Amino acid sequence: MIQVLTGQPGSGKTRYLLERVLAWLRQGVEFRLIVPTNTMAEHLRNQLAREGFVFRPGAIVTLSKFLESLVPDMPPVSAAALELLVADALARIPLQEFERVRAYPGFRKAVVGQIQELAAAGYSSRDLFFDGFPRFRTPAEFAQIMERVEAEVTGHGWFFPSGRLRRAAERAPAIPRVIFHGFISFTRPELEVVGALGKRGEVLLSLPSWKGAGDALGALRRMGCTEINRPPADFGGDVNRILMTPSTADQEAEEIARRILAERSAGREFREIGIVIRSEHPGAKPLRCALERFGIPARFYFGEPLAESPVTAYLSAVVEAMLGGWEHGATVAALRKGGLPDDAGSDEFEYSVRAGLPGAGLPSLRLLAKRRYEKIFDQLERMDAWRSAPAPVREWTARFGSLPGLYPAPALGDGATPAWIAIWREQAAALAKFEECVAELGAILDPAGTMPCSEYWRKLVTVLDNATLRIPDNRRNVVHVLDAYEARQWKLPVIFLCGLLEKQFPRHHSQSPLLSDQVRVKLRDAGVVLRTAAERHEEEQFLFELATSRATSTLVLSYPILNAKGDANLPSFFLEKMRQDVALSLEPVLRCRPAPARPLRPAPTVTIYEEGLRDLLKARYASISATSLEKFLQCPYQFFAQSTLKLQEAPPAPEDRLDHKLQGTVAHEALKRVYSTGESLASAFQAEWEEACRSLHIPTGYRSEAVRIELFRNLEMFVNGQHLPGTTLSEFEKEFKVDLMEGVRVTGRIDRIDVDETGRALVVDYKYKSAQGIKDVVKAHDGGRLVQGGLYLRALRANGYQTAGMVYAGFRAGTEFGGWVDGGAFPSVDSGCTSEALNDVVRQAVDVAITAIGQIHDGRIRPAPAEPRQCDYCSFTNICRVETIAEQNGRGGARNELERETD
């Protein structure tokens, strides 16, 4: 006998059925309660146990467990197996329509999904070959693929759900009382089981009233069921319905957290509260973050893709690195995902590897590790053999099955926070699942079949991609975060239903690319009933009704007003409709955040006051180079960060190593060789260039070539131009030290000194700068923001030279000289400067240098860029926080002030 209990969502079907079950338990009647999901079975079992009953857990089972007990000899085909079979079929069968798309993973998935949809509804490819089968090429080719896949499935001894259900119907045991509960509809094969059970006992089904259940209800009626109809619950009820409209998704989550805390302090238990979202994405992550922040224990009823687990990411990265020949960048990146400890040694190892890129192979990497990580390298070396030769599947299974051992186990101490417990559980689950996947693939493939590692790995990736992790969390007193499907089985005092936006709830369903709605309509005429996009939309409406009927005391609905871009969102039309039928009270959203563990620290001062530290600075800068001094004059903070703290930067990628500075160095060295030894520019440049590229591991490519050609052309123009005066004596790279006053020593190196017949010396400083650049340098020197020129002259004088002047020789895109040269001495670079003026240049530079050194010793480090644009190219903006200094000083900051000055 079959009875069907129908009614709207929230009409009390669950209560009715549970009362039946309780009565049977009391009477000791044998029964089976069959539900769709594990969580629901678990939930009901616990609920009944808490009523004081002791009973067999098998009395409450999922449909799949129930089937398992009836057809243990018919293993179901897994999604991964199906996908591999589909891939195989697509590769083998000659296809016209699918020719262009057969290699796409998305297409493969679409085919798998379509086969699963048909199979679940009880159809096989045969059902698609009938007279009048829609004469479109797409479904026809699909049917061919499906037929092939079915044959393979059978060949492997697997079964589709419909086959298992049919056999189960044949084997249906005599159970006096069976309840099917929590299903929103039934497929044809499921109904066959229902019918069979109904013949041998009493079957009671609950079926919500909605359009999508119509076919099932019709079929049940044809089976001669009797109907019990629950009247619709009165929608007004005593449920308090609230609407809130926070501005963003994050604020929505925060507001939910705030309200949960309010409920909690009013005595509500966490377990009485549920949060419902249409589906895990995009709502779950903001919720996870918010609940954790506010210390609210919560259980998320979502599986996680195995592929996204850090364990899989690590193991996959190692395998990929191995297949890629242990390219150093990829290998070290892989190892950092788990193989290396998180300590300073590993951090430095990573940087040393990156600084040495490009590189490949384990032995050279091992050298860089300097005898550390021996164990892991041993392990990797054992893997190295994998990529050399094909091996039988059996071997791959054994090898990959042992791969989880590569993952270093964490120290699993007790007293850990829930976040750590979750992480460790996830790791354990992922390791176990990885092994399962390897075993699963082993069962799918012919164990004696031989293939190379890469091929096996591709297949294993397919299996891994199909696997979902269920991370155990069985805590009772937690807030439940559920999707709309899971929520259908729950009734809780307080429910938050959030993310009520168009395209989120309802989700929009597009037509299947394989069996379009047009085809589906035709198929329906032939008795093959598959849902169209419009029918799936109806399910969305039904899910919404379900979700809104889950609360027994308070229902809080919400949606964020703005999207991530800050534009207005479109609220769910379902919500609009609901608002017409029932009153929702609009409640405000309050800004909130967790009370901080400590108050915000005030902004730190930016001067070195402490005597001890100043002494350090004095000692450190008892002698200072002219170049460093200029750095200080450019910006004291930049100097502090770069010269005093000597902060280390991340190693640049090979292609970024060829920077401006390096180009300048190569040019300097080449010029030195040309002028001091008379070597030809071509050979001097080439030698220097190659040396620079070699020592910095700069790969030769079009970019380095572009730079090389440009630099060489510039040097060529400079050297061929021969604008420099003919001299009797030239010195190159001359080091000097000069004491400006007691305790103030400046050092430096002069690129070149030319001395004429009369013994007057000219300082030449090469700069890889354009004409404008040279003008700017001279201007800055005149403005007291640079000192090199004056100090070099001063140094020469101190060393007994008779100085004629100093020029900067720029050689970018043409040659340019700029500086201060005494009239008549070196006519080609004469700047018409008087010796008095030259003295002023020296005097000013010395004064500026003395003041600057004094400031350095006094711990002056305040950010003060000499030019506002300088900060745009400075690496230390994030340390000096130049713009916040501004705020501390009142309106307008260091940079603003400067901008104003230069405006």
Partner 1 sequence: MSLSEKQISAAHRLGQDVCVVAGPGSGKTSVLIERFCWLVRECAIAPERILAITFTEKAATEIKQRLVTAFLNDYDTRERIERAYVSTIHAFCTRLLKENAIAAGIDPLFEVADDSVSGELRRESADEILEAIYAENPAAMRSFLGSLAVGTTRDGRIPDLADSLIRIYDAMRAAGADIESAALGPTGVDSALSKLQDLIRCIVSERVQTKSPRQLEEHGRFTIWARRILELPPVPTREHFELLNAKPFNKTFLVSGCMLRERRDDINDLVTHVRGEYLSAYYASERELIVEVLKRIHARFHAKKDARSLLDFADLETFAIALLEGDPALCERIRNDFDYILMDELQDTNPLQWRLLDLLRRPDRFFAVGDINQSIFRFRHAEPELFRGYQNAIQKAGNIVDELRDNYRSRGEVLTLVNTVFDGAGPGIVPHKLTGAREFPEKIVPSVELIGGIADEPDAEIAVGARKEALWVAKRIAELAGTLLIGEPGNTRPATFADIAILTRTNAAMTPVKNALEEFGIPSILVGGQTFFRAREINDLILVLRTLVNPCDEIALAGLLRSPFVGLSDESLLRLRQGDSIHRNFARGRFTDFETGDRKALEVFRDQMAELRAMRDSISPDRLLRRLIDASDFESGLSDRGRVNVEKFLGIVRAEFQGSLSELVERLGHLSPEAEAPPSDFGNAVRLMTIHKSKGLEFPIVCLPALHKGSSSFQPIITYAPGIGLGVKWRDPDGWKGAGDAVYGAVLDWQKIRQGEEDDRLLYVAMTRAKEHMLLSYAKAKRAVPKWAEFLCEQLGVSGGVAENRIREHEGLRILITNLPPLVAPVESIVTQENKPVLLNPPLVEEQFDSSASVTSVSLLAACPRKYYLSRYLRWEPRHASGFGFPDDDFPSADLGELDASEFGLQVHAVLAGTAAPEADAGALALAERFHSSALGQQAAQADRVEREFDFVMEVHGMVLRGQIDLWFESAGAVTIVDHKTDQVKLPVEPDRLKAYALQLQIYAMAIQKMTGRLPEAAWLYFLRPDKAIEVDLKPAALAAAGKAVLALRNAQDSGQFPLREGAQCARCEFYRGLCPAGKGLLEGIAFAVNQD
- For β-strands 585-586 and 551-558, DSSP reports them as unpaired
Least distance between ligand SF4 and beta carbon 769 (Å): 19
Q: Does residue 855 bind ligand SF4 (CB under 6 A)?
A: no
Binding letters toward partner 1, positions 87-116, x by CB under 8 A: ----------xx-xx--xxxx-xx------
Q: Does residue 309 bind partner 1 (CB under 8 A)?
A: yes
Per partner kind, with CB cut-offs from 5 to 8 A, the member of ligand SF4, partner 1, none near residue 404 is partner 1
Q: Which stretch binds partner 1 (CB under 8 A): 426-434, 519-527, 684-692, 790-798?
A: 426-434
Q: Does residue 355 bind partner 1 (CB under 8 A)?
A: no
Q: Of 283, 499, 748, 865, which one interacts with ligand SF4 (CB under 6 A)?
A: 865
Q: E strand or H helix at 226, and its extent?
A: strand 226-229
Q: Does residue 569 bind partner 1 (CB under 8 A)?
A: yes
Q: Of 637, 685, 689, 801, which one interacts with ligand SF4 (CB under 6 A)?
A: 637
Q: Of 1, 23, 151, 432, which one interacts with partner 1 (CB under 8 A)?
A: 432
Q: Does residue 701 bind partner 1 (CB under 8 A)?
A: yes
Nearer to partner 1, 106 or 231 (CB): 106
Nearer to ligand SF4, 329 or 865 (CB): 865
Per partner kind, with CB cut-offs from 5 to 8 A, the member of ligand SF4, partner 1, none near residue 100 is partner 1
- Asked if residue 772 lies in contact with residue 786, where contact means CB atoms within 8 angstroms, the answer is no
Q: Which stretch binds partner 1 (CB under 8 A): 14-22, 482-490, 596-604, 736-744?
A: 596-604
Euclidean distance between CA atoms 255 and 291, whole angstroms? 10
Euclidean distance between CA atoms 483 and 494, whole angstroms? 15
Neighbours of 286 (CB within 10 A): 21
Per partner kind, with CB cut-offs from 5 to 8 A, the member of ligand SF4, partner 1, none near residue 882 is ligand SF4
Nearer to partner 1, 649 or 742 (CB): 649
- Give the 3-state secondary structure of residue 582: coil
Nearer to ligand SF4, 589 or 641 (CB): 641
Per partner kind, with CB cut-offs from 5 to 8 A, the member of partner 1, ligand SF4, none near residue 416 is partner 1
Q: Of 66, 407, 490, 542, which one interacts with partner 1 (CB under 8 A)?
A: 407
Least distance between ligand SF4 and beta carbon 871 (Å): 3
Cα–Cα distances in angstroms (integers) from residue 346 to residues 336, 382, 593, 650, in the given order: 8, 22, 36, 14
Q: Is 430 left (phi over 0), alpha (psi -120 to 50) or beta?
A: alpha
Per partner kind, with CB cut-offs from 5 to 8 A, the member of ligand SF4, partner 1, none near residue 871 is ligand SF4
Q: Does residue 870 bind ligand SF4 (CB under 6 A)?
A: yes
Task: Name the residue type at position 610.
Answer: E
Binding letters toward partner 1, positions 861-890, x by CB under 8 A: x-----------x-xxxxx-x-xx------
Site residue total, ligand SF4 (CB under 6 A): 12
- Asked if residue 644 lies in contact with residue 617, where contact means CB atoms within 8 angstroms, the answer is yes
Classify each residue of 397-424 as buried b or exposed e, where b means 16 or more C-beta atoms within 10 Å of its C-beta: bebbbebbebbeeeeeeeeeeeeebbeb
Q: Does residue 632 bind ligand SF4 (CB under 6 A)?
A: no
Nearer to ligand SF4, 37 or 896 (CB): 896
Task: Name the residue type at position 161.
Answer: P
Nearer to partner 1, 220 or 543 (CB): 543
- Give the 3-state secondary structure of residue 560: coil
- Give the 3-state secondary structure of residue 539: helix
DSSP label at residue 623: E
- Asked if residue 578 lies in contact with residue 584, where contact means CB atoms within 8 angstroms, the answer is yes
Restricting to residues 130-159, name those near partner 1 by CB under 8 A.
Answer: 138
Euclidean distance between CA atoms 169 and 67, whole angstroms? 9
Site residue total, partner 1 (CB under 8 A): 189
Q: Does residue 394 bind partner 1 (CB under 8 A)?
A: yes
Q: Which stretch binds ligand SF4 (CB under 6 A): 416-424, 761-769, 775-783, 870-878?
A: 870-878
Lookup: tokens for 757: 């017949």
Q: Is 800 left (phi over 0), alpha (psi -120 to 50) or beta?
A: left
Phi/psi of residue 516, nearest 5 degrees = -70, 170
- Asked if residue 43 lies in contact with residue 489, where contact means CB atoms within 8 angstroms, the answer is yes
Euclidean distance between CA atoms 554 and 480, whole angstroms? 15
Least distance between ligand SF4 and beta carbon 883 (Å): 9
Per partner kind, with CB cut-offs from 5 to 8 A, the member of ligand SF4, partner 1, none near residue 389 is none
Phi/psi of residue 481, nearest 5 degrees = -110, 120
Euclidean distance between CA atoms 642 and 630, whole angstroms? 12
- Give the 3-state secondary structure of residue 6: strand
Q: What is the DSSP string of 315-367?
A: HHHHHHHHHTT-BHHHHHHHHTTTTS-SSHHHHHHHHHHHHT-S-B-HHHHHH
Restricting to residues 821-860, name those near partner 1 by CB under 8 A.
Answer: none
Binding letters toward partner 1, positions 23-62, x by CB under 8 A: -------------------x--xx-xxx-x-xxxxx----
Least distance between partner 1 and beta carbon 174 (Å): 20
Calculate ∠ Cα 447-453-459, nearest 5°.
Answer: 65
Euclidean distance between CA atoms 271 and 288, whole angstroms? 16
Q: Of 60, 112, 882, 898, which one interacts with ligand SF4 (CB under 6 A)?
A: 882
Q: What's the gap between Cα 794 and its chain centre?
A: 57
State the virtual CA torsion across 387, 393, 396, 401 in degrees, nearest 10. Answer: 160
Task: Name the residue type at position 649.
Answer: E
Euclidean distance between CA atoms 608 and 496, whole angstroms? 54
Q: Of 877, 896, 897, 899, which one interacts with ligand SF4 (CB under 6 A)?
A: 877
Residue 94 burial by CB count (10 A; 0-12/13-18/19+): exposed, middle or buried?
exposed
Nearer to ligand SF4, 534 or 645 (CB): 645
- For β-strands 816-821 and 802-810, DSSP reports them as antiparallel
Calculate ∠ Cα 829-833-836, nearest 5°.
Answer: 145
Q: Of 208, 286, 789, 810, which one interacts with partner 1 (CB under 8 A)?
A: 286
Nearer to ligand SF4, 211 or 869 (CB): 869
Least distance between ligand SF4 and beta carbon 882 (Å): 4
Restricting to residues 709-738, name those near partner 1 by CB under 8 A.
Answer: 709-710, 713-714
Least distance between ligand SF4 and beta carbon 605 (Å): 16
Calculate ∠ Cα 750-755-760, nearest 5°.
Answer: 105
Q: Of 246, 876, 893, 898, which one interacts with ligand SF4 (CB under 6 A)?
A: 876
Restricting to residues 462-491, name those near partner 1 by CB under 8 A.
Answer: 472, 474-478
Euclidean distance between CA atoms 771 and 765, whole angstroms? 14
Q: Does residue 880 bind ligand SF4 (CB under 6 A)?
A: yes
Least distance between ligand SF4 and beta carbon 494 (Å): 51
Least distance between ligand SF4 and beta carbon 774 (Å): 22
Per partner kind, with CB cut-offs from 5 to 8 A, the member of ligand SF4, partner 1, none near residue 514 is partner 1
Nearer to ligand SF4, 454 or 870 (CB): 870
Per partner kind, with CB cut-offs from 5 to 8 A, the member of ligand SF4, partner 1, none near residue 635 is ligand SF4
Q: Is the backbone peptide bond immediately before 506 cis, with ω within 30 degrees of 0?
A: yes
Q: Of 73, 597, 678, 827, which one interacts with partner 1 (CB under 8 A)?
A: 597
Q: E strand or H helix at 94, and its extent?
A: none
Restricting to residues 738-777, name those near partner 1 by CB under 8 A.
Answer: 768, 770, 772-773
Per partner kind, with CB cut-offs from 5 to 8 A, the member of partner 1, ligand SF4, none near residue 694 is none
Q: Does residue 573 bind partner 1 (CB under 8 A)?
A: yes
Give contact residues for ligand SF4 (rule: CB under 6 A). Answer: 635, 637-638, 863, 865, 870-871, 874, 876-877, 880, 882
